[in-house]
């Protein structure tokens, strides 16, 4: 492990996704060398296009359900590889469970080999449909283990178990973050999550789909605040392992969010009610006392400001023409095992440029 924390070699799995790509941006800007690993199931090359010709950035197309072998030293691994919205993780529930568990296993094995610190991007979904409100890290949750959301909920719970067991059994330096609802630029248009759904529908003057009566609550954290929390947790003292809730404790109803989006987009969209999905949590709000006391972290971006920036992002994305990415060969940093449905062979790994 490199003792110099100002110039580290950092692997970000799921690095072409919403949170992962924003994290890659920040880490490169801080002077780190970043390897982005993504199978592009929900991640998009467009998210990391600004970094593709940067000398400290490398993209590797690889599925974390398969082992990842890399040459050279590694200092940090952020494991963000997994679809995070119900629409996407329910598309292939067995694949989602395998990504949660095998992806965590392979990230931990790489960390064990390289003596790297490994952070698991867990989720507030480990609390299920909570009977305790708000949710502290000590709450063990209320999860339907056979329901349609269980592939993700239970997969993430199992991944947390693996992280703690690798720490206890092998001495791997680990961190576990429980991420609550996060929003901001680079969310997918079609991921079915509240903020992106409402904004895209409003901008297109289509009906806003509100599930249930809209009285269910969420707590929305802007992506920049989340990234700060992840970095602080990763670089916290060795005895600060987690789990650590990272989210905004401001609780709002879904219908409040719908009204805020309609007002800020000046949309003519109507509100269309639909049945509430099975096991959809009725309330979600983090207790962030642990993050405040151990990391000195709290969210700073107000919901109104974050929504404005996210609306601006989607406005440009929806109403601007797309551009094409052309592959350019580069030096490969990984020696991936080529398997059906897995990664490309290392000779095909490349950086992409316009």
Instruction: Give DSSP secondary structure letters for 24-60.
Output: HHHHHHTT-EEEEEE--SS--HHHHGGGTT-TTEEEE
For the record, the structure tokens of 71 come out as 């040459």
Catalytic residue status for 152: yes
Residues with Cβ within 8 Å of 213's Cβ and at least 6 positions away in sequence, in order, are 255, 273
- Classify domain 9-180+223-248+287-300+321-353 at the CATH class level: alpha beta
State pTM to two decimals: 0.89
> Which residue ranges make up each domain of the chain?
9-180+223-248+287-300+321-353
Q: For the packed helices 223-234 and 18-29, what is the interaxial angle rounded to 10 degrees?
A: 60
Model pLDDT, residue 278: 85
> How crowded is the C-beta side of 224, counted as CA atoms within 13 Å?
10
Model pLDDT, residue 89: 87
Model pLDDT, residue 155: 96
Instruction: Give DSSP secondary structure letters for 70-104.
Output: B-S---EEEE--S--SHHHHTTSHHHHHHHHHHHH
Q: Are 185 and 268 in contact (CB under 8 A)?
A: no
Environment class of residue 87 by beta-carbon count within 10 Å: exposed (0-12), middle (13-18) or buried (19+)? middle
Model pLDDT, residue 122: 98
For the record, the structure tokens of 21 come out as 């790509």
List per-residue pLDDT tens for the chain, 354 residues long: 555 677 999 999 999 999 999 999 999 999 999 999 999 999 999 999 999 999 999 999 999 999 999 999 999 999 999 998 888 888 999 999 999 999 999 999 999 999 999 999 999 999 999 999 999 999 999 999 999 999 999 999 999 999 999 999 999 999 999 999 999 999 998 888 899 999 999 999 999 999 999 999 999 999 999 999 999 999 999 999 999 999 999 999 999 999 999 999 999 999 999 998 887 889 999 999 999 999 999 999 999 999 999 999 999 998 876 544 433 333 334 433 333 334 433 323 333 222
Catalytic residue among 127, 152, 166, 183: 152
Residue at token pair 């151990």: 294
């Amino acid at each position: 492990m490199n003792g110099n924390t100002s110039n580290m070699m950092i692997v970000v799995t799921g690095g072409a996704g919403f949170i992962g790509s924003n994290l890659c941006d920040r880490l490169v800007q801080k002077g780190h060398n970043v390897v982005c690993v993504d199978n592009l199931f929900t991640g998009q090359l467009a998210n990391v296009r600004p970094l593709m010709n940067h000398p400290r950035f490398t993209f590797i197309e690889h599925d974390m359900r398969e082992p990842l072998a890399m040459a050279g030293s590694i200092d940090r691994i952020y494991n963000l590889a997994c679809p995070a919205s119900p629409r996407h993780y329910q598309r292939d529930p067995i694949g989602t469970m395998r990504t949660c568990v095998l992806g965590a296993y392979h990230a931990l094995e790489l960390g064990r080999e390289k003596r790297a610190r490994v952070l698991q991007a867990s989720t507030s979904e480990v609390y299920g449909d909570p009977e305790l409100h708000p949710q502290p890290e000590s709450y063990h949750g209320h999860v339907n283990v056979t329901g349609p959301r269980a592939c993700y909920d239970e997969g993430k719970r199992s991944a947390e178990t693996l992280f703690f067991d690798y720490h206890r059994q092998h001495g791997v330096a680990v961190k576990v973050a429980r991420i609550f609802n996060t929003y901001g630029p680079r969310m997918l248009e079609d991921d079915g999550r509240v903020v992106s759904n409402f904004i895209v529908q409003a901008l297109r003057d289509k009906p806003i789909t509100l599930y249930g009566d809209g009285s269910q609550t969420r707590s929305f954290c802007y992506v920049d605040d989340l990234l700060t929390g992840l970095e602080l947790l990763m670089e916290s003292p060795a005895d600060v392992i987690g789990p650590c809730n990272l989210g905004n404790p401001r609780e709002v109803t879904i219908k409040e969010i719908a009204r805020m989006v309609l007002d800020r987009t000046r949309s003519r969209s109507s509100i269309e009610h639909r049945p509430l999905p099975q096991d959809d949590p009725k309330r979600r709000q983090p207790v962030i006392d642990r993050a405040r006391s151990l990391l000195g972290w709290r969210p700073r971006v107000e919901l109104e400001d974050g929504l404005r920036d996210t609306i601006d992002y989607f406005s440009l994305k929806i109403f601007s023409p797309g551009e094409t990415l052309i592959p350019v060969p580069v030096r490969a940093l990984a020696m991936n095992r080529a398997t059906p449905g897995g990664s490309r062979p290392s000779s095909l790994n490349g950086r992409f440029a316009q």
